[in-house]
Amino acid sequence: MIEVFRDRYQELPVNAVPSQFGWIEVITGSMFSGKTEELLRRIRRAMIAKQACVLVKPEIDQRYSEDHVVTHDRVSLPALRVKRADEIYELAKDSQVVGIDEAQFFDQSLVEVVNQLADSGKRLIVAGIDSDFRARPFDPIPELMASAEYVTKQLAICVRCGRPATRNQRIQGNETEKLFVGALESYEARCRSCFEPPARLN
């Protein structure tokens, strides 16, 4: 990766080439599309490369573990829980790679945190849902996607028809609350055709 960037700067004097390169990778899509699985895969590869890594998750997400990021298939890595996005600054100060899971549960301040860390030379890998249970944009993911160098859109499989799924069907829980943490008991992945918008959209 560094060689790619060096090629880009090859016309500059040697002392003009930045000593560090930071960037943002966003992994997004619906629930059950493998976002966390892909996040953990990238973190593991960075660890194999002996890069200093830190993995964080929002405090609100305690579905499978309080101190690990866990996929729906129970693959996991140790993680630090944070209540506010600005706490990530301190946790990331000695790391080259910063992984953030369930980014949709942070507020809009996450965008500034992620961009500042990338500007300081760190690699940010951010995973989160891009649309809510009403199929509307789920902040802060859209803005993170706009500022990212790399965006990966994951697709799930519709439980009704087997087509590619991009929607999060809430099958139980509050009909209006946007931030409702759940897994298989509360949500299904559905395609555009099989998705049933909630009756109450306000």
**Residue 166 CB partners (closer than 8 Å, separation 6+):** 29, 30, 131, 155, 156, 191, 192
Q: Is 149 a catalytic residue?
A: no
Domains of the chain with CATH codes: 20-154 (3.40.50.300)
Separation CA 41–CA 119 (nearest Å)? 24
Q: Which of 25, 38, 102, 188 is catalytic?
A: 102
In a structure prediction context, what are the per-residue pLDDT tens digits for the chain, which is 202 residues long?
333 333 443 443 434 334 479 999 999 999 999 999 999 999 999 999 999 999 999 998 776 677 889 887 778 899 999 999 999 999 999 999 999 999 999 999 999 999 999 999 999 999 999 999 999 999 999 999 999 999 999 999 999 999 999 999 998 755 555 544 545 458 899 999 999 998 755 4
Q: Cβ(128)–Cβ(38) under 8 Å?
A: no
